Chains A and B, each alone.
Chain A
Amino acid sequence: MIEVHDVRKAFGAVQALGGVSFTARDGQITALLGPNGAGKTTLLRTLVGLLKRDHGSILVGGVDPEQDPMAVRRNIGFLTDQFGLYERLTTREYLHYFGELNDMQAAALRTRIGEVAELLGMEDILDRRAKGFSQGQRIKVALARTLLHRPRHLLLDEPSRGLDVMSTRALRTALNALREDGSCVIMATHVMQEVTHLCDDVIVIAKGHTVAQGSPEELCRRTGITNLEDAFVSLVGTEEGIA
């Protein structure tokens, strides 16, 4: 479970987060909706302890990332807006590196690499070097890295971008499996269809503030708009900055 209460963060005069509060429960996929520049990246970086908050509290599985960032990170799978691949390493070597960094044992790591490769349908690129990978292949590798150490919490920044239909379905299956396992998944996305199909809970943030939290149905009910996209626009309060 990830509990965030009134988190604020300013960079000089710029208030990136002006008061974000939400709870993402275990066994649920929580969508993080917000226009570009709403503070999603800052929020995610604060959750893994890369940035320090100015105010408020954060608990990731009961641990404050500022107190013990290592313990928090061991339980987090973080998919950033960049894939972070190494072109001179094969997929297997890449996954091995991050598995080791997450304290996985060699034997368990070998088995697990096979598992995630099967889950994401990427056995064919396991022993190829990342140079020349397509966008879809890259994000699969990055996703595999995120899932590798079976983190209790997943922070995914637009995980479905660049994926073809088959891979999107594979991703959806993977996310559903994680939910069954009781993981806590936060997924930043701009695809409303994905939210309606997949997510149990939605957090809407705009200009560094939490605007609303609830299930897609609740958000529609509250705004009195049946279409989630229109409801989102109404919550954000402007049509500016919708990607």
Chain B
Amino acid sequence: MKSKIRIVFLKELREMLRERRTLAFLLAASLMYPAIIGLLLNQMIERNTRTEREGIEMVVIGGAKAPTLMAQLRERSVTVTEAAPMNEDAIGELLRAKKTVAVLRVTDDYVANYQAMRPARLELWFDSSTESGPQRRDVEDILQAYSSNIASARLLAHGVSPATLSPIELQRHDTGTNASRSAMVIGGIIGILFLPAFFLNLSAAVDSTAGERERRSLEVLMAQPARSWELVVGKWLAASVPSLLGVTLILCVAHAILRWLPLEEIGMSWNLGWGELMLVCLVTVPLSLLSSALFIGLAMNAKTFKEAQTTVSFVTILPVIPGFVISFMELKTATWMYLVPMLSNQTLVKELAKTGDIGPLPFVLTFLCALIPALLVVAFASWRMKSEKYVLGV
């Protein structure tokens, strides 16, 4: 004798497969999702590596008046382009075209002031709304260094030690490693990797409960020799299938893309092997089970498909909240995070990407923190379906 759960499961699955929209959506989401992430990262890498290769582009007006400065700039890999004198509007136009990081204008009285040892004015024109901020700061640093050099030379000529000019000495130490920097960006990407667990199963879960009620076939089903928990479990497992497949596929495709991209170019790391990824996929299974349980538990109380969609849609927002709160409050990874479904999955992968080895506890907690509530919700839904109040409403 076949188990009733299996009978219900297979029937729900068959009905689901007949719904073309669900399948198309599943496939599109599974492939498009990681593809978009890959594209974004690729663009980031492109942008970062391009500037390193080509150095800094800068337009200089009146550069002939300051040949040593020009030489200094070229030495520090700034590509200097000489330009004829132009007015403010023309400079603005040039900066908007983003062909140059900044425009340096050597003022007309520069030479006279320089020789008279008065401050010789240089004008740096830039557009702060563009992303070239770091490069602009590089240019400013070069100019500053040039200025200090001249000052030192002049002081030496007067027999004064240049050290008097530097009462303090600032040394910068950046402890951010490639990996920890990458955790930020990767964390954001990971956050959205698990989201499909909460929308790929929505239509299946709603259709097999509220939809069945709307089509008035639920009473017939409930009058069959099958216990209400067998019906609920069959429907629950069937609804979990699209989520489960979708998220696993997305994780695999994303993993392949992240491994293939030269992430080290932008100081990021993805320290996961296929074995670890399989473990991640495995402990993510209960997440799909939990979302399906929640959807079924809520949707079964709605009288129509539409009504159920409205009640259920707020559940799709829930998983985003913990991740959002964590990044908003800038909390450090702690063990309790592995006790919150969804957040635990995100934290797990974030930590794996950063360090590569985190021990078995996070895996176990991630697995259980979604599985236990899922089972509780299913138990509640079964109890609810058996209740007389529910039968009367069918």
Contact = CB atoms under 8 A, between A and B. Distances in A.
A179 B2 CA distance: 31
Given A50-B391, A51-B391, A100-B7, A84 B219 contact: yes
A102 B8 CA distance: 12
A228 B225 CA distance: 37
Contacts of A50: 219, 222-223, 391
Contact of B217 (A70, A74, A86, A93): A86
Interface stretch (B13-21, B141-149, B176-184): B13-21
A237 B290 CA distance: 56
Contacts of B8: 101
B220 A78 contact: yes
B98 interface: no
B74 interface: no
B217 A89 contact: no
Contacts of B217: 82-86
B1 to A, nearest CB: 6
A156 B36 CA distance: 56
A73 interface: yes
Contacts of B19: 88
A145 B8 CA distance: 16
Interface string B207-223: 00000000111111111
Contacts of A76: 223
Nearest to A96: B11
What class of interface size applies to chain B in its complex with A?
A: 20 to 34
Contacts of A73: 223-225
B220 A70 contact: no
A52 interface: yes
A143 interface: no
Interface in A63-85: 69-71, 73-74, 76, 78, 80, 82-85
B392 A97 contact: no
Contacts of B255: none
Nearest to A71: B225
Contacts of A70: 225-227
A82 B388 contact: no
B384 interface: no
B219 A97 contact: no
Q: How large is the interface on A (under 10, 10 to 19, 20 to 34, 35 or more residues)?
A: 20 to 34
B4 interface: yes
Given A70-B226, A84-B220, 11 more contacts: A50-B223, A52-B388, A69-B225, A80-B220, A82-B220, A84-B218, A89-B14, A93-B11, A98-B224, A101-B7, A145-B220
Interface in A170-210: none
Given A11-B392, A52-B388, A86-B15, A101 B226 contact: yes
Contacts of A51: 388, 391-392
25 contacts: A45-B391, A50-B222, A50-B223, A51-B391, A51-B392, A70-B225, A73-B224, A78-B223, A80-B219, A82-B216, A82-B220, A83-B216, A84-B216, A84-B217, A84-B218, A86-B11, A88-B18, A88-B19, A89-B11, A100-B2, A101-B4, A101-B7, A101-B8, A101-B224, A103-B225
Interface of B: 1-2, 4, 7-8, 11, 14-15, 18-19, 215-227, 388, 391-392
B15 to A, nearest CB: 5
A151 to B, nearest CB: 10
Interface in A123-178: 142, 145
A120 to B, nearest CB: 17
A93 B13 CA distance: 13
A219 B108 CA distance: 122
A11 B391 CA distance: 12
Contacts of B225: 69-71, 73-74, 101-103
Contact of B219 (A82, A85, A86): A82
A88 B207 CA distance: 12
A87 interface: yes
Contacts of A116: none
Contacts of A83: 216-217, 220
Contacts of A38: none
Contacts of B215: 84-87
A52 B225 CA distance: 16
A236 interface: no
Contacts of A89: 11, 14-15, 18
A142 B7 CA distance: 19
Given A52-B388, A73-B223, A88-B19, A97 B11 contact: yes
A1 interface: no
